[in-house]
Structure 1
Amino acid sequence: MRLLLNIRLALSSLLLYGLLSGAAQSAKLPKGFATQKNGRFEVDGKPLSFVGANSYWLPLLTSQDDVRSTFKQMQDAGVKVLRTWGFNAINGSELAGALQSGLTYYQVWNSSEWTLNEGPQGLERLDFVINTAGEYGIKVILAFTNNWVGYGGSELYINWIAGAGHSHDVFYTDPRIVASYQRYVRTIVNRYKNSPNIFAWEMMNEARCLGDLPAGPNCVPGTELLTKWYKQQSDFVRSLDPFHMITTGGEGHFFKKNQTIGFWVDGVFQSDYNFNGQAGEDFDDELFLENIDFGTYHLYPQTWYPQLDFPGSNFTVKDWGLLWIQLHADSAKRANKPVILEEFGLTGLQNKTDMYPAWIDLALKTQHAIMPWQFGALGLKESGGNRLIKYADALIDGASPNDGFAIYQNQTSVWNIFKNAAKVQASRSG
């Protein structure tokens, strides 16, 4: 009986210690830092609901005046959170061209060890973006690397460290690659971990088993390879920074283990990549990881389902988007964590005008944060408003890069959808 009593007292003490530790951790959160509690974002104990902006190109601008102008346009639109790349890497063979064109770069790869560029064409530009964001009341989600080759993503690590002939998923398992990735993560986190302008760290943009390289047999449904990597890296980031939030940056793919979800094309049944675990993600499980503070997902049904989106079919982009939004809202509710519709886009002005209102309405009803892809700025003046940045990304007549998804202020019917949503979110915030 005494042993049982002692066990009960010990358990009670542990529970009390846990509660006190949680309270102490909360009390120690620095002023102005964003956090999450009971499925909602908050800052300094006040709720934060928001419409945000994606702008990968903002640290690529060479003019500080244009950076300020962009933030002013975001502020006027009611934007509270910016998502941008915390990576820009090049091969050593690209360095001469980068110096000539003014391209922003943070890493240079000439061997299995990259070198860091902290100078005025490097991390000083990211410093300016993060510092200036705070002046306009905007916080920043910073992604550490890219699943895709664009602007020096994960496959630079694969090519330089693992070498040719490897599948994309070696990025998540090769200890040499993991160590190199963590070296860069440590650099970025330590540089900004004391800044209240950071909203959250993001481990990778759109992690998948495959990238521009194919997936290998070690990253298939049931291996949980990406879930394990998310846990490993989120725990690592938490060891560096006890306060800022951490998220995956994933597209929100599901692994519906006991369900067969798919569609018929020309009499052949096709399993649905967004639900069958083939991407490597398991959105439901990832949300329950201890150091994943909120969920992210992306929405591009127009480009994901071209074989179904044709006149006369019973598939509609609008309805599929509504389903995707509701499913992620349901998952977030089960995990009691916030969720961000972090990227979404449609090409065609009429498509945007017709479908975005329904998507935004459901996102608002289900307590989402909302971040369309992508923010469009006007009136940029560097290089006379015309400058090729890289790939097909360019400033044209003062407008920021447009991949067909960009939303500009002079597109009033679409712009106002998000400006009005920002007002709703502001009314819910402290």
Structure 2
Amino acid sequence: MSIFQIDRRAALSGMTAASLLALSGCGKGASATGEFIRRDGMQFIRGDDPYRFVGANAWYLAWLGSDTKYGDQGRLTRELDRLQSIGVQNIRILAGAEESPVRNSIKPGFETQDGTLNAALLEGLDVVMAELGKRGMTAVLYFTNNWEWSGGMMSRLFWETGEVTNMNDPEKPWPAFPDAGSAFYANEAATTRFYDYVRMLVTRRNSVTGTLYSEDPMLMSWQLANEPRPGVSPNVQEAILPDYYRWIDQSAALIRSLDQNHMVSLGMEGTIATNGREDIVRRAHENVDYTTAHIWPLNWGWVDGKDLAGTWEAGSAKVADYIASHIRMATEMGKPLTFEEFGFPRDGELYDPSAATTFRERYYRMIYAAAEQNVKDGGPVMGTNFWSWNGEARAQHDDFRFVDGDTQYMGDPPHEPQGWYGLFDSDAEMMKLVTDHAAAFATA
């Protein structure tokens, strides 16, 4: 997510999980789960039919899937069952995390500075993909991160340079972190190691199913990174753009040389990542299969979490404009669009599951209604992934902060208050919204 800073087996609308499975995804071809999802103009296609999905973000699933002291395979299956029961058919999952001194990053990661790979986490990802396959659910897997909470590009730079800039360092205030991290794109040693990681994962054989990842139809798309920005300061951005574009193009070409079955996506937020420049968004998506938009009204200062009632009208107008502009750009580019991250705080910007979700409900309705209307209009919107799923997890500390060693993983990453944006399994109204959207979106 941006830093700018039941057992519910029956669906809440009264639909069964089985009926939602039939509705979600590819219309009358929903049973064609052995077929790969591909792009055809502004649509995703599976078999002979459009593939539209309602999805969620759950970055932590590989940790749950691992057979370790921090893993919990029982919880993994419960969470996937819950998500499927409310109509979720696609999950965006972190498939790479880099260990380093970068503060507030998850440990353990998938890779360390000396090149050691965490076999248990990779096997945990294998378990996740196998469990998705059992349910006919699909995944978007992203390799790295622009932000600090999984180590990300800053960690890869540290491995090569020995230097770290930490997010929210009072001596190096915003935008020092993303500006410094953008040097990743120009660092040949760092990008070469990234390509090595990509090559490893794309050619991996699932230890549970025996299927190559490149041949797994439950994988919808490989994604280069979570919110890759070409810096933030205009002068930094202008200087790094050639290397940024080169990294995108070379990464996409590498993946396609190894895997002809799956789509490639970038994971970009949209114009918030480019100082409003549409030309950067267009060029960045030239050699990937579809476009993405992430929408964070609180993080971007469009609403005040302590005064949602007083700031909702102005903030929601900016959200509407952002939605419309990215639909327009996707249409002009002739490519599908997914709203793959969108989040909103609970009332009063409280973190406890008992806090009301009045304005969050309004916000989800707004995103979902725009997606549903765009389908009716024959537009490019093909998927929605809310941020994020907390499920049965609960904060382990009174201050709602994650501490190294905690295992109650949530969609709210380690650098954030636990419960800030994620949906809990007790959020009945929010889950009903997702369920209703799954039905409406599939039949729009």
Fold conserved between structures, TM > 0.5? yes
Using a 3 Å threshold, how does the CA distance of structure 1 residues 116 and 141 change in structure 2: closer, same or farther? same
Off by >6 Å, runs of 4+ in structure 1? 307-315
Equivalent position of 1:14 in the other structure? none
Q: Secondary structure at the match of 2:141?
A: strand
Give the Å deviation of 1:57.
1.6
1:68 aligns with 2:86: no
Letter in 1 for 2:113: W
Give the Å deviation of 1:158.
0.3
1:51 aligns with 2:54: yes
Root mean square deviation, CA, Å:
3.3
Q: Flag the structure with larger Rg.
A: 1
Equivalent position of 1:248 in the other structure? 266
Judge conservation of contact 1:169–1:215 (CA < 8 Å) in 2. Answer: no
* 1:193-204 to 2 correspondences below 5 Å: 193-204=214-225
Equivalent position of 1:303 in the other structure? 299
Equivalent position of 2:29 in the other structure? none
In the alignment, the residues of structure 1 paired with residue 337 and residue 200 of structure 2 have an alpha-carbon distance, to the nearest angstrom, of 27
Gaps of 5+ in 2: 1-32, 65-70, 166-179, 205-212, 347-356, 376-380, 413-417
In the alignment, the residues of structure 2 paired with residue 422 and residue 237 of structure 1 have an alpha-carbon distance, to the nearest angstrom, of 31
Using a 3 Å threshold, how does the CA distance of structure 1 residues 338 and 392 change in structure 2: closer, same or farther? farther
Please point out which of 206, 209, 227 is paired with 1:206: 227
State the TM-score, normalized to the length of structure 2.
0.72
Judge conservation of contact 1:92–1:109 (CA < 8 Å) in 2. Answer: no
State the TM-score, normalized to the length of structure 1.
0.74
Q: How many residues are aligned here?
A: 356
Give the Å deviation of 1:322.
1.2
Equivalent position of 1:363 in the other structure? 371
Using a 3 Å threshold, how does the CA distance of structure 1 residues 93 and 164 change in structure 2: closer, same or farther? closer
* 1:86-101 to 2 correspondences below 5 Å: 86-91=95-100
Using a 3 Å threshold, how does the CA distance of structure 1 residues 254 and 69 change in structure 2: closer, same or farther? closer
Q: Secondary structure at the match of 2:38?
A: strand
Give the Å deviation of 1:81.
0.8
In the alignment, the residues of structure 2 paired with residue 306 and residue 50 of structure 1 have an alpha-carbon distance, to the nearest angstrom, of 28
Equivalent position of 2:186 in the other structure? 173
Letter in 2 for 1:366: N
Judge conservation of contact 1:169–1:216 (CA < 8 Å) in 2. Answer: no
Judge conservation of contact 1:394–1:400 (CA < 8 Å) in 2. Answer: no
Letter in 1 for 2:326: H
Using a 3 Å threshold, how does the CA distance of structure 1 residues 145 and 426 change in structure 2: closer, same or farther? same
In the alignment, the residues of structure 1 paired with residue 153 and residue 367 of structure 2 have an alpha-carbon distance, to the nearest angstrom, of 31
1:230 aligns with 2:274: no
List per-residue Cα deviations over 1:187-232 (Å, max 9, x = no partner): 111111111111100001011134xxx8695532794543332122
Please point out which of 335, 338, 347 is paired with 1:337: 335
The share of aligned pairs that are identical, in percent, is 23
In the alignment, the residues of structure 2 paired with residue 159 and residue 343 of structure 1 have an alpha-carbon distance, to the nearest angstrom, of 28
Equivalent position of 2:94 in the other structure? 85
With 181-190 and 316-325 compared, the bigger mean Cα shift is at 316-325
With 234-243 and 407-416 compared, the bigger mean Cα shift is at 407-416
Judge conservation of contact 2:182–2:240 (CA < 8 Å) in 1. Answer: no
Give the Å deviation of 1:307.
8.2
Equivalent position of 1:117 in the other structure? 118
In the alignment, the residues of structure 1 paired with residue 130 and residue 154 of structure 2 have an alpha-carbon distance, to the nearest angstrom, of 30
